[in-house]
Chains A and B, each alone.
Chain A
């Protein structure tokens, strides 16, 4: 057994950030459901718009997540 010690730092996300992530998840699910359903409804223009919006939301969220994680771990 070594006497080496480790210091763990836990960066807590503030409560409003969790709320923002919940809102983001809802927005992604809502947009993608409407995109898929609009395809089923044979409304191609609506479906196209919503697919683009949904993918931007998804990618935007992913980018923010990784950037934020980096900031928190710095």
Chain B
């Protein structure tokens, strides 16, 4: 820390003593003291604003998922995915159309019969958070840049940049934020084509641009901002119903809001922020999240965070503002998945693997090879969405033993045990069943619950550190 940062001026001294207005402005002087504030929060003790983690979350050089980077290729999200119109390319147009019809009939029938979780009010709830909020590759671009204001752009160390981005994004609603610098390997996690078919091209140009055919990413936009948004456990644990399904939509909506806000924040500082042009666009979120230490890859091929379990969605942006980066973690999560298999047992479509060890072998063209995983049969999964659930499913998230609210002491103890004594994994899984965790909750009961804003505990990341 420089001399100018450590010296306390008379004005700051008065503020610190509570004698001046705006005492909060003296916060930088308190950074590193660990002083407690409201909500149990502390001042950042890490120069880059990394929140403290439980002792059993170990930072490692390589992720727990084995990756053979020579086999990884940039994924074409337009042709590869089973989401949306891509489904028909795997099952055929006729089958896709027939399944769509089944889904519509099931929906009408369930609404008519007032099936809990599928009632008219559940569909209306979903309609209220439907993803109408705009999002774009380059952001709203409405705020004044430093150039517009006639001032130099913001400068600071990479640690300072990480810290202020973390503070801003937590303010906008992100549960946790991490950073990664793209190299020749991790650049392969950026899609070759976005869901709308536009090619994603890295370029030596200084400024990002977009045409009818392509989106151009300046090579200098090599810093990835990863962030988690919490999902409401109380709705998702009622899966598979419309009440549960809308959880995902609401979380994507919040992810979009955070993306728009962060894009404008970085523009206001004088930097570029490139985001998803549509839901799940730009890059493979869980893979980047794992490389940046937000969590580990699970049996159901989603990220599981040590803090929030699977009850999160992962989002990402690219920026040219140099930031302090993060490393992968090992909290024993992938190892636990080897023995647990609860998601695979609960999956009604049989899409998830029962193999104990992950494999390099993919199931179909919708999987991206080059890493060792329990590849899922996405066609089976998406078929069930149409002919069974008639909505998104989410049972794998709901039954996962890591999906806990962490109020009870035992959850932290079990997570510490999972990270340190893998021999106990089978016992922990058995106890999870014995206590009845993962059972589908009553859908009608949700309408009687007085829950916190957005159905999540936003103090969790700080109160549990």
Contact = CB atoms under 8 A, between A and B. Distances in A.
A30 B407 CA distance: 12
Contacts of B410: 30, 34
A43 B234 CA distance: 10
B435 A41 contact: no
A49 B408 contact: no
A69 interface: no
A23 to B, nearest CB: 16
Given A46-B435, A46-B436, A46-B437, A38 B449 contact: no
A38 B404 CA distance: 10
Contacts of B449: 42
A40, A43, A49 pick with most chain B CB within 10 angstroms: A43
Interface string A46-58: 1001000000000
Contacts, number: 32
A22 to B, nearest CB: 17
Contacts of A38: 407-408
B336 to A, nearest CB: 19
B439 interface: yes
Question: Which label, helix, strand, loop or mixed, suits the secondary structure of the B interface?
Answer: loop
A33 B404 contact: no
B409 interface: yes
A42 B234 contact: yes
Most buried by B among A38, A40, A49: A38
Interface in B399-442: 404-405, 407-410, 435-437, 439, 441
A34 B439 contact: no
A34 B437 contact: no
A45 interface: yes
Interface in B362-413: 404-405, 407-410
Given A42-B449, A43-B437, A30 B234 contact: no
Contacts of A41: 404-405, 407-408
Contacts of B435: 43, 45-46, 49
B407 A40 contact: yes
Would you list the 7 A-B pairs with minimal beta carbon distance, nearest first? A37-B408, A45-B436, A37-B407, A34-B408, A41-B405, A46-B435, A40-B407
Given A34-B409, A42-B234, 15 more contacts: A30-B410, A33-B409, A34-B408, A34-B410, A37-B407, A37-B409, A38-B408, A40-B407, A41-B405, A42-B441, A42-B449, A45-B436, A45-B439, A46-B408, A46-B435
Interface of B: 234, 404-405, 407-410, 435-437, 439, 441, 449
7 contacts: A30-B410, A33-B409, A37-B407, A37-B409, A38-B408, A40-B405, A40-B407
